Amino acid sequence: MARAAIPRRLTWRVARLVETRDETPSARTLVLDVSGWPGHLAGQHVDVRLTADDGYTAQRSYSIAAPADGDRVELTVQRVPDGEVSPYLTEVFAKGDPVEVRGPVGGWFVWRPTDTAPVLLVAGGSGIVPLMAMVRARRAAGSRVPFRLIYSVRTPSDVYYADELRRRVRDDGGLDVAYAYTRAVPDGWPEPPRRLGVAAVNTAGWPPNLEPACFVCGPTGFVEAVADILVALGHDPRRVRAERFGPTGSPSGSPTGSPMGGTIGSPSGSPTGGPAGSPTGG
């Protein structure tokens, strides 16, 4: 894993699909075997390149969903209707098929098991992927650093890694998960669907005076809204790191790392798998 921190020229490597897991009706985890993979840190991503028979290529970025494990690299891809790459990766790409990957990319949006500050993770939709890598890295390292995850999804069936998150909350100790539903709520949920707002982030996050490390990931609009909320709540912008999952369709991709990532600015409390906020939130 230490090698991941050494700057070097990124080269394309051939990866093969060895396993798949369906996370939701429209998201699939792809376990790739990448010969010679140098290792990575939780939060980093890869560039994936597809090449058609006529030489046409398409390249997209995908976050790595699990901590380093030899030559294995796990991605979770959300199918974007009418997308060029994600429908292929989620519906056509089959075990044994090759794909090219380059990485790991990104050195800022990362969590290291040696980090000691409390952690607030805020995910919108597929933005959970690199944050799940952090949750898994914490588990793998036996870290006791307190983690809070606020996970905003459209409906209950859009939750990735649902069973594992339940297990981790139960077994890991010090990990709390709060959900926010924007379009439909589970039966018996105490609130109507709503977007994540100040009250919800304040309730399910950490108070700023604990100086948590905040990681926000999701669609660009979500990330910007949450970052604004965190700063408004008094978090130091330098402790808020963001990864925006905007379209990455440029033919040349993003060789130097997360072009839309960076520090934004920063969050804060009820964390046991309950709603992300009070009935007045949002």
Ligand X SMILES: Cc1cc2nc3c(=O)[nH]c(=O)nc-3n(C[C@H](O)[C@H](O)[C@H](O)COP(=O)(O)OP(=O)(O)OC[C@H]3O[C@@H](n4cnc5c(N)ncnc54)[C@H](O)[C@@H]3O)c2cc1C
Q: Measured between alpha carbons, how far is 113 from 135 in angstroms, rounded to an integer?
A: 10
Binding mask 13-42 for ligand X (x = CB under 6 A): ------------------------------
Q: How far is the CB of 123 from ligand X (least distance, A)?
A: 11
- Pick from 173, 186, 192, 249: which binds ligand X (CB under 6 A)? 249
Toward ligand X, which CB reaches closer, 80 or 233? 80
Per CB under 6 A, does 86 bind ligand X?
yes
Cis upstream peptide for 104 (omega within 30°) = yes
The stretches of 24-178 forming alpha helices (DSSP H) are: 86-87, 128-141, 162-171
- Pick from 102, 243, 266, 276: which binds ligand X (CB under 6 A)? 243
* Of residues 116-175, those binding ligand X (CB under 6 A): 126, 129
- Pick from 40, 60, 102, 138: which binds ligand X (CB under 6 A)? 60
Per CB under 6 A, does 107 bind ligand X?
no
Per CB under 6 A, does 219 bind ligand X?
yes
- Pick from 84, 173, 234, 255: which binds ligand X (CB under 6 A)? 84
From the list 92-100, 225-233, 242-250, 273-281, the region that binds ligand X by CB under 6 A is: 242-250
**Interacting residue ranges for ligand X, rule: CB under 6 A:** 45, 60-63, 76-78, 80, 82-86, 126, 129, 219, 243, 245-249, 258, 260
